[in-house]
Amino acid sequence: MTDRHYQQARLARDHRFDGRFFVAVKTTGIYCRPICPAPSPKEQNVRYFETAIAAANAGFRPCLRCRPDSAPASWAWKGTDTTLERAMRLIDDGALINGSVTGLADRLGISSRYLGQLFQRSVGTSPKQYSLYQQVLFAKSLLQQTDLPITQVALASGFNSVRRFNDCFASVLRMTPRSLRRPAGSRSQEPGIRLFLSYRPPYDWAALRDFMQTRLIETLEWCGDDYYGRTFSLTNGASGRFTAWHRPERFGFEVSLEFSQPVALLPVVRTTRRLLDLDADSSTIDAHLAPIQAQLGPERPGLRLPGTWDAFEAGIRAILGQQISVAAARNLVRQLVAEHGELLPGQGHEHRLFPTPATLAQSDLMTLKIPGRRRQSLIDFARFFDTQPEQAADPEHWLALGGIGPWTVNYARMRGLGDSDIWLGSDLGVKKALGQANGAWQPADASPWQSYLTFYMWSLL
């Protein structure tokens, strides 16, 4: 995009470009989203940046009206380097909140020096500064949207001390945390924490909702016409639940979060965004898939990938779903959760958590009416996650386990990790849809959005 393109998108306040670039105003020292409702500045007073952190590095602070921290991340500036994309995803999930850059580099299989070079070349800052910037922007959202005390905001954002939080906040945003507090009268009196998570339209909520409802596990999940919610557990032993209400008129979801104990919220919010696929650039994906969809059936703009909480849950669902119907697989998952899922603390018998790897590894699972080999695959899979969590985090390592093949791994990568380029050509539902399809096209034509093509094939059934 050129400055002329940026100018046209800014003046039109086009929501399709939200998150793809940011507008900085020289006369005020503030940077905004292109959809900011404030009066448009003169072009000679404007600078354009591809990322929010680039605008901050240039000395601009975020607008308090349009809140650039809530703009969905754009694929456009992430580049094509898969190592960089994975590093950014891990940092967004909180890898550097309690970990080190060296440890992150080891997980990626590269040196810390090379990791730093990747970030400097593509993002314009170091991995640690990128992580701190995300933490500060998230803290800004908590200060503006919740009534949490500043001390709890600091802890929820991953800072170990209020002093460190105040110093980072002042250096990054050039303002104090207290200056962002909402008036007491405008704060919600409802329990838990409420946040608003944005997306770039279009968003096909009906398709995602119907997919979730078809696979709904009672007590673990709940879903209605305009909401989806579920329980979840974290590696530090904390647990909780969230409910996300779709607000199409505001292009986002109003999310209520409740926890059993104080936690760093940033990884939870990032996972929720992935589960609802809020960061997809639908206009780009739709334009790429339109020629293929035209040969297969009606176009479905705004398709999103319905996720699961983590790769372990996705793997368990995939193993139980091997070569059987969706309804049969759902019944098996329901039984597994009912028999081995712990009750969510403070919720009585209303909600359960998905079984942990340790729990399933110690069970014989004899009550499940499945072939013995598949039962052993479940146990081996759970033991792998329980004893070697770092290796198990990469689904490619699952192939060494008996009873787990490419379909299981790819299904888990798509739903558990949000991988956008997975084609499930061996899936029974995809095969059925392909039997009704016409046209001269290849799945590779959809790359790097083959996962969305897979979901589109399911939507045709």
**In the structure, how many helices (H) and strands (E) does the chain have?**
19, 9
Candidates 21, 140, 159; CA nearest to 151 is: 159
Kindly calculate the radius of gyration of the chain based on its CA atoms and give it in whole angstroms: 22
Domain residue spans of the chain: 3-66, 78-184, 193-276, 286-300+418-461, 311-417
* pLDDT at residue 76, as a whole number: 45
Catalytic residue from among 147, 168, 427, 445? 427
Q: How far from chain centre, in Å, is Cα 282? A: 15
Q: Give me the residues paired with residue 48 across strands.
A: 23
* pLDDT at residue 354, as a whole number: 96
CATH topology of domain 193-276: TATA-Binding Protein (3.30.310)
- DSSP letter, residue 185: G
**Beta carbons of 399 and 406 less than 8 angstroms apart:** yes
Which residues, other chains included, contact 2 with Cβ-Cβ below 8 Å and sequence gap of 6+? none
**Beta carbons of 304 and 279 less than 8 angstroms apart:** no
Which residues, other chains included, contact 447 with Cβ-Cβ below 8 Å and sequence gap of 6+? 421
Q: What is the pTM of this model?
A: 0.80
| CATH architecture for segment(s) 78-184 | Orthogonal Bundle (1.10)
- Tracing tokens 């309690």 back to the chain, one arrives at 98
Candidates 29, 124, 35; CA nearest to 84 is: 124
Candidates 288, 320, 274; CA nearest to 415 is: 274
* pLDDT at residue 84, as a whole number: 81
Helix/strand/coil for 197: strand
298's tokens: 């009606």
- Tracing tokens 């293929």 back to the chain, one arrives at 292
Q: Does the annotation count 69 as an active-site position?
A: no
CATH topology of domain 3-66: DNA Methylphosphotriester Repair Domain (3.40.10)
**Beta carbons of 295 and 447 less than 8 angstroms apart:** no
3-state helix, strand, coil in the chain (%, to 5): 50, 10, 40
Helix/strand/coil for 30: strand
| Residue count of the chain | 461
Q: Does the annotation count 427 as an active-site position?
A: yes
* pLDDT at residue 89, as a whole number: 79
Which residues, other chains included, contact 327 with Cβ-Cβ below 8 Å and sequence gap of 6+? none
> Digits of tens for pLDDT over the chain (461 positions)?
678 878 888 887 777 677 778 999 999 999 998 888 888 899 999 999 988 888 888 889 888 888 787 666 654 444 446 688 788 878 877 788 878 899 889 888 889 999 999 888 877 889 998 888 888 888 888 888 888 888 888 988 888 889 989 998 888 888 888 887 766 545 555 567 899 999 989 999 999 999 999 999 999 999 999 999 999 998 778 899 999 999 999 999 999 999 877 677 888 898 999 999 998 888 888 988 999 988 888 889 999 999 999 999 999 999 999 888 899 999 999 999 999 999 998 766 689 999 999 999 999 999 999 999 999 999 999 999 999 988 898 899 999 999 999 999 999 999 999 888 899 988 888 888 887 666 678 888 888 889 999 999 998 88
Catalytic residue from among 32, 66, 168, 223? 32
Domain 311-417 = CATH 3.40.50.410: no
* pLDDT at residue 72, as a whole number: 65
